[in-house]
Structure 1
Amino acid sequence: MHGVPNDAATKKFVWDTSALLNIKEPNGQGYSPGHSFYKDFSDGWLSGPYFNIYPAIAVFELQASVSRAHREGRKMLRDFYIVSENSVVYPIDQELISRCADLFDKPGFSSLRGGDLIFACIARIEDAYLVTLDKGFSLVADHIRVIDLNESRDSAKYRNLFRD
């Protein structure tokens, strides 16, 4: 739905705001797990077709985070060109609400806060991985595949999930 491929061969990834922001925020050595993971697509490190899903709410949350960084005197580019032929900005609309309605009171999903429910629901209905730095998604790890980039803060340990 919403332009997301539904073939079994395509690996799909829902990016939450924390992971998208991490692409723009490297550590002192210039490394960020979000940027490394995103770059692995173009470098061919992750084999096979892929598709990135950016929930529309993340676009607004990301811009608000950039504005906050600017107010705090930090430099961060506002422009962010991640939408390509292998991605979509996923609308938050009536169709999504209808498709997710049975998830709202399910264990784990009913404990999520704020927009996290949107990210988790999209990952579930699109059979996608959820890419995040938010530990709160451990609540739904039995229902969706969560890539916790916290485990890759020093090196790309997430790659172990995709080794053949």
Structure 2
Amino acid sequence: MIKFVWDTSAIINIKEPNEHGYSPGHSLWKDLADGWIKGEYRNILPTLAVFEVNATVSKLERKNKPILREFYLLDDNTSLYDIDKNLIQNAAEYFTLDGFSFLYGADLVFACIAHIEDAYLVTMDGKLAFHAKKHIKVVDLNESKDTANYRELFGDQP
């Protein structure tokens, strides 16, 4: 099973298309749902992202940028990941890893979850992608702003 941990920037991007209506976050989510990326998959949304997404939406609304406040991503292939004592105990050894030690706050949480779950970290945060890729697989959606370049990570597909 292929797993994907979505950070806040990638979740927000699902609802932020460019001027041509393309969003790499939405495209990846759809490619998974449509079976373009073959095999079973799991989208993992850290519970912390619920708060971060709502804070980001509020910030965008204050700047008069249109974005849907409520959008639903939970389905049979998506799960919430609890930020709890168990995560802290399992992640403690990663806090000082080269690269991870440069991450702040939620970025470190997302990277640790991806490491523990042997998952791709899906992000639009260039700094997070740069530091995290030393130890985990990263889908940097910045490399797919105009077209689905992330597909190269998954080899030849239909």
Aligned residue runs from structure 1 range 101-140, under 5 A: 101-137=92-128, 138-140=130-132
TM-score for both structures, normalised by structure 2: 0.95
Partner of 1:63: 54
Q: Quick one: which of 71, 76, 79 aligns to 2:67?
A: 76
Q: Quick one: which of 17, 41, 47 aligns to 2:32?
A: 41
Partner of 1:150: 142
Query: What's the CA shift for 1:151?
Result: 0.5
Query: What's the CA shift for 1:148?
Result: 0.4
Aligned residues: 155
Query: How many percent identity over aligned positions?
Result: 56
User: Aligned partners of 2:149, 2:54: CA distance in 1, in Å?
Assistant: 28
Pair 1:94-2:94 in alignment: no
Q: Quick one: which of 130, 133, 156 aligns to 1:141?
A: 133
Give the 3-state SS of the residue equivalent to 1:54 in structure 2: strand
Give the 3-state SS of the residue equivalent to 1:13 in structure 2: strand
> Structure 1: 5+ residue runs without aligned partners?
1-9
Q: Structure 1 runs of 4+ off > 4 angstroms?
A: none
TM-score for both structures, normalised by structure 1: 0.91
User: Aligned partners of 2:125, 2:114: CA distance in 1, in Å?
Assistant: 15
Partner of 1:18: 9
Q: Deviations over 1:4-42 (max 9, x none)?
A: xxxxxx000000000000001000000010111111112
Give the 3-state SS of the residue equivalent to 2:105 in structure 1: coil
Query: What's the CA shift for 1:140?
Result: 2.2
Query: What's the CA shift for 1:74?
Result: 2.1
- The residue type equivalent to 2:140 in the other structure is D
Q: Deviations over 1:46-102 (max 9, x none)?
A: 100000000111111101111112222222111111111111111100000000011
